[in-house]
Amino acid sequence: MYDCDDCINRLDQLVDKELSGPEVEEIHVHLDACGDCTRRYEFQEGLKRLVKVSCSEERAPAMLRERLRQQLNS
Ligand SMILES: [Zn+2]
């Protein structure tokens, strides 16, 4: 089980989709149980989205993005 420190340390990578499947699962287990980290995660996500929208066109191929999204939702 990840604790808050583990979770916080990996939030950047989570938002950047740089973590392996099992790590993503571990973090989501923690996020489900921890409101503080959920808020941190949502903040990071929102920030990332803003940066992406303002700095670049969408670079990831549509298929890759779709696959990542399904992984996250499963
Ligand atoms: Zn936490």
**Residues of the domain holding 52:** 4-73
- The domain total for the chain is 1
pLDDT recorded at residue 50: 80
73 Cα–ligand 1 center, Å: 20
pLDDT recorded at residue 57: 56
pLDDT recorded at residue 48: 85
Per-residue pLDDT tens digits for 18-45: 999 999 999 999 999 999 999 999 999 9
74 Cα–ligand 1 center, Å: 21
CA distance 24 to 5: 15
- Residue 6, amino acid: D
65 Cα–ligand 1 center, Å: 27
Least confident of 3-12, 14-23, 49-58, 65-74: 49-58
Write down the residue that tokens 């921890």 correspond to: 34
41 Cα–ligand 1 center, Å: 10
